[in-house]
Amino acid sequence: MYIETSRPRLEGEKARLVSPVFSVAPKNPYGATNTAYCFSFYYHMYGQHIGSLNVYLRLKGQTAIENPLWSSSGNKGQHWNQARVNINPPTSFQVMACASHTRNGSIWFSEGGPVYADPFLLTEDFTASLQL
């Protein structure tokens, strides 16, 4: 998947990739869930004035999203990087990746290399975070 964030985009514009809604069923009689997830993806941020890439968690019924779970900005070189984000949502949720405008650059997503489909992987377990 590819998000073009340079011209003719205008400063302040954002591109978003939003997952389907993932249902979280209660795991015990008290309604709490014990499910933990790891959201992982590969990204490629290259360009002189690259913007930022943020990953957000949107819970069921939530309208405003404020703080990213994960964030990266600036030129990360002419190579693929992997990110892993641990999440433990209390209710149904969506994952959203948001790329901001840049003056000269682009952001690519992939699951394991230059394959530009199905770029995100959600597994039902915690995974150790990678050093960035």
Domain that holds residue 56: 2-26+34-123
How buried is residue 50: exposed, middle or buried, by Cβ count under 10 Å (0-12/13-18/19+)?
buried
Provide the whole-model pTM: 0.73
Residue 11 belongs to domain with CATH number: 2.60.120.200
Along the 132 residues of the chain, how does pLDDT read in single tens digits?
556 656 666 666 777 778 888 888 666 666 555 678 888 888 888 777 677 888 899 998 888 887 899 998 888 888 888 888 888 888 889 888 887 765 555 555 544 333 333 456 777 766 655 444
**Token pair in block for residue 29:** 């009689």
Tally of domains in the chain: 1
CB atoms within 10 A of CB 84: 16
- Residue 91: inside a domain: yes
Which tokens belong to 75?
Answer: 């030129």
